[in-house]
Amino acid sequence: MTRRRPAPLPVRDGLGPARLRLHGGPVAAELRARFGEAVAAKVAAGEVVTADGSAVDDATVLPAGTHVFLYRELPDEVPVPFDIPVLHRDADLVVVDKPHFLATMPRGRHVAQTALVRLRRELDLPELSPAHRLDRLTAGVLLFTTRRELRGRYQTLFARGAVRKHYLARSSAEPDGTFPRRIRNRIVKERGCLQAREVPGEPNAETLIEALGGGLYRLTPSTGRTHQLRVHLASIGLPIDGDPLYPRVVDVAADDFSRPLQLLAQRLEFDDPITGQPRCFVSDRALDHPPGPLPRFG
């Protein structure tokens, strides 16, 4: 795994600096052309730096491919009106019960309204980093490391499939066929496309699906492709309730929190890479429809 060197600017108000790749030439002129006078003002104030921390000024010329760092202007965002309960906290880890509608980390139009930025601010942990990700619409157990030097060891667990993950999903569709059922195929997610899709080729996605009754399903993925569980359930005629993407795209207003995706990352289990001890974290959340407690499983 290639390690990116730490950013030359510290986390500020829960958010790290943006990293921009230059086309080459006078830096101030390029930034002004790409981002307007607001970025040019940052150059004048010495708030744009190179990887070694040197401030860029109006005379700086850098080759193509060089990166500069600066604090971005935050977009207007719709507040996500849900708390982020902490399930576990120690010197190394913070484990939370992420709500629906909250992205794991900044991307696109979701910046401050993300689990990472909100937790850095609320817990005063500027080096907090996610060891893995959950989709913005998926709720449940999400694990963070508290210090930069720990991140790689826990991320590696997820990358090599050493974390046992269990999800619960609800579908109102009538099931067809027998369970348990194992779905194994190839899924691709192309940049700019909202939906992931199944394509011919060597399988890269595998999920065990078990029916628990009453439209509730337990999902045990062996891989972690983008939207994997949503694609796999939709592919067998069981689209997850509240899904605005599968089987078809539905336009939902940014401030509409009335119909959460009925998908919950309920349980994470792994052997701690530092202590060697088994770890198990379980969500306290319940899916919305119908109300009531969800079954536990051993």
Annotated catalytic residue: which of 97, 135, 241, 243?
Answer: 135
172, 241 contact by CB (below 8 A): yes
In terms of phi and psi (left: phi > 0; alpha: psi -120 to 50; beta: otherwise), the region of 148 is: alpha
Q: Report which DSSP code applies to 3.
A: P
Any bridge partners for residue 190, and if so which? none
Element (H, E) at 203: none
Distances (CA, A) of 45 to 21, 42, 55, 70: 20, 5, 9, 11
Active site residue 135: yes
| H-type alpha helices, the chain | 27-35, 37-44, 115-123, 148-159, 228-235
- CA 249 from centroid of its chain's CA atoms: 20
Looking at the chain, which runs of residues are DSSP E strands? Answer: 18-21, 25-26, 49-50, 61-62, 67-70, 86-89, 93-98, 129-130, 139-145, 164-170, 181-188, 197-199, 205-213, 216-221, 263-271, 278-282
Residues with a catalytic annotation lie at 135
